[in-house]
C-alpha cells in the first residue's frame, strides 16, 4: 500500500469519491484501498483480445455491453470495488458513469505476482454481486481458464485448457476460442514457431 492509500476512507461511497481524485487507480477490498500494479505486455494483449473478441460477437446482441479495465465494478454486499480486465453487462448502455453494479461476466487476467489468497477474496466479492453469472480467471503464461458459474444450487468451478479449447458463455450467447484469446501472446507465439 502506498502513502495515498492510507488516506482512503474505509467505506465504499467514501472510497469511490476519494479514488476519483487520485492519479492512480485503486481497488477496495478487505477494508483497505489497494494500488493497482502495472501489467505486462502479454497481460494487455490477452485483455485486448478478450475485449475485441467479445465486442465483435456482442455487437449485434441488444442490451449487451462490454468494457475494458477503466470501468470499475461495485460489489456493495462484499464491501469491494474492483477493476476487472474485461466485463460484460446486460442493460441500458452506460454513458458517463465510471462504475457498474450489474456485471454478468467478468474476466481477470492473472499475473504471476497476483497472490492466490487475493484472487480468492476478489472472486468471492464478485460472487456476491446479484447479477453476476460467470467469473473467468485467465492464465497469462499458458492457455488455461478457471471459471466459476452460478447455477441453481450455487457456484461451480470448471477449467478449460489448451489452444484448441473453446470458451462457451451461454449467459451472453458467446463462444470464444482460446487461440483467439491468446493470439500474439509470448508463449503462444513460441508454440506456433515449434
Delineate the domains of the chain, giving CATH numbers in brackets.
1-36 (no CATH), 39-193 (3.90.1570.10)
Contact 163, 24 (CB under 8 A): no
Contact 88, 66 (CB under 8 A): yes
pTM of the predicted model over 0.85: yes
Q: What is the pLDDT of residue 105?
A: 97
Query: 12, 57, 56: which is closest to 33 by C-alpha?
Result: 12
Looking at per-residue pLDDT, the higher value among 170 and 63 belongs to: 170
Contact 165, 178 (CB under 8 A): yes
92-150: per-residue pLDDT in tens? 666 667 888 899 999 999 987 778 888 899 999 999 999 999 999 999 999 999 999 99
17-39: per-residue pLDDT in tens? 898 888 899 999 888 898 988 88
Query: 21, 15, 56: which is closest to 33 by C-alpha?
Result: 15
CA distance 85 to 95: 19
Amino acid at each position: 500500500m502506498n502513502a495515498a492509500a492510507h488516506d482512503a476512507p474505509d467505506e465504499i461511497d467514501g472510497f469511490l469519491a476519494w479514488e476519483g481524485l487520485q492519479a492512480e487507480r485503486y481497488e477496495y477490498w478487505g477494508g483497505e484501498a489497494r494500488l493497482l500494479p502495472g501489467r505486462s505486455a502479454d497481460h494487455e494483449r490477452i485483455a485486448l483480445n478478450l475485449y475485441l473478441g467479445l465486442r465483435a460477437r456482442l455487437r449485434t446482441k441488444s442490451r449487451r455491453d462490454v468494457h475494458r479495465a477503466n470501468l470499475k465494478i461495485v460489489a456493495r454486499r462484499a464491501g469491494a470495488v474492483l477493476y476487472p480486465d474485461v466485463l460484460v453487462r446486460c442493460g441500458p448502455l452506460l454513458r458517463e458513469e465510471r462504475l457498474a453494479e450489474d456485471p454478468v461476466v467478468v474476466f481477470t487476467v492473472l499475473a504471476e505476482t497476483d497472490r492466490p489468497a487475493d484472487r480468492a477474496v476478489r472472486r468471492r466479492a464478485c460472487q456476491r454481486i446479484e447479477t453476476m453469472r460467470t467469473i473467468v480467471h485467465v492464465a497469462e503464461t499458458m492457455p488455461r481458464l478457471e471459471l466459476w458459474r452460478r447455477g441453481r444450487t450455487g457456484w461451480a468451478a470448471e477449467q478449460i485448457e489448451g489452444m484448441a479449447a473453446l470458451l462457451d458463455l451461454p449467459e451472453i450467447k458467446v463462444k470464444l476460442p482460446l487461440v483467439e484469446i491468446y493470439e500474439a501472446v509470448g508463449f503462444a507465439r513460441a508454440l506456433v514457431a515449434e
